[in-house]
Structure 1
Amino acid sequence: MRRMMILGSLLLTLSTTAMASQVYKWVDDKGVTHFGANPPQGQAATSVNTVIAQPKAAAKTATPTVPAVNSGEAEQKVIDAKVKQQVAEQATERKKYCESVRTNLAQLQNNPRLRTEVNGEQVRLGEDQRQAKIAEAQKAIKENCN
């Protein structure tokens, strides 16, 4: 019985490496990385090493190590942080813009006698000009501030 267990364990250990298939990595036209058992036709693909090295036995006095972050992952985190910052800045600018447009719309709707500066001179807006500016402001709010 013991011999059968040892033989079975040995066969199981050897069979996992025999069953491992080759894995290929390639990047498509859109820049997306793919992994697969068969490389694509007409594209360059690289073979990926799927063998996992056994960890070395840690010495009793060794301090636990922090796993090293892949440099690609670190670069991606930096890029993600920059994109998030840009999105936040754009959201802040859009919020300020929307607040300004809404304030202008309220002024246009509540004050029938408006003046604007044209070539350094104060000119009173006519009713049709005021209605046109109200429509422009409403359109800007509808397109940008929802």
Structure 2
Amino acid sequence: MRSLAFLGALVLSLGASAHAAQVYKWVDAQGITHFGAQPPEGQAAQPINTQAAPPASAAEPVPADLDEQEAPSQQEIDEKVKQQVAQQEAEIRRYCETLRTNLAQLQNNPRVRVEENGEVRRLGEEERQARIVETTEKIAKDCD
């Protein structure tokens, strides 16, 4: 229902003046198309032209197959979006795997060493426990 209201607002905004804001279109992981004034972080979004094209004059007929030749088909666009979503999901899986590995190292090894600014130092127990809590929170927030 909310997306229907947003789509209605989008249609109304298309008829607005020439200084309208940029609108973006993207498809989420569930395959739902969204429109918004700002693109989502970490996800590909396509800018939408909100400027109305001037009406074609009768003296200049537009060939019917022109759109088919120049514009990519919806199937090609869908495939590209699916590839982008799959790539993002793979990056998230790698990130979560790294978090889980780091958490296991922190939990199972009381003598954890880290390299910072070219120097290797050992984490104190309080800092190790703080990193365990931080890593656990990141896993709960970002990973399934």
Q: Scaled by the length of structure 2, what TM-score is found? A: 0.51
The letter for the 2-side match of 1:30 is: L
The letter for the 2-side match of 1:84 is: K
For 2:100 and 2:8, the matched residues in 1 are separated by: 46
CA offsets, 1:24-83, max 9 Å, x none? xxx95435xxxxxxxxxxxx9xxxxxxxxxxxxxxxxxxxxxxx9x93996211111111
* Corresponding position of 2:90: 92
Relative contact order, higher structure (CA 8 A, sep 6+): 2
The letter for the 2-side match of 1:117 is: E
Q: Choose from 69, 75, 78 the match for 1:77.
A: 75
* Corresponding position of 2:128: 130
CA root-mean-square deviation? 2.9
Q: Choose from 115, 118, 121 the match for 1:117.
A: 115
The letter for the 2-side match of 1:144 is: D
CA offsets, 1:73-107, max 9 Å, x none? 96211111111000000111111111110000000
For 2:95 and 2:68, the matched residues in 1 are separated by: 39
For 2:107 and 2:135, the matched residues in 1 are separated by: 10
CA offsets, 1:96-130, max 9 Å, x none? 11111000000000001111112211111001110
Q: Scaled by the length of structure 1, what TM-score is found? A: 0.51
- The equivalences for 1:14-53 within 5 A come to 28-30=8-10
**Aligned-pair identity (%):** 52
* Corresponding position of 1:56: none
* Corresponding position of 2:99: 101
Unaligned runs of 5+ in 1: 1-26, 32-43, 45-67
Q: Which has the larger radius of gyration?
A: 1
> Between Structure 1 and Structure 2, how many residues are aligned?
85
For 1:71 and 1:141, the matched residues in 2 are separated by: 46
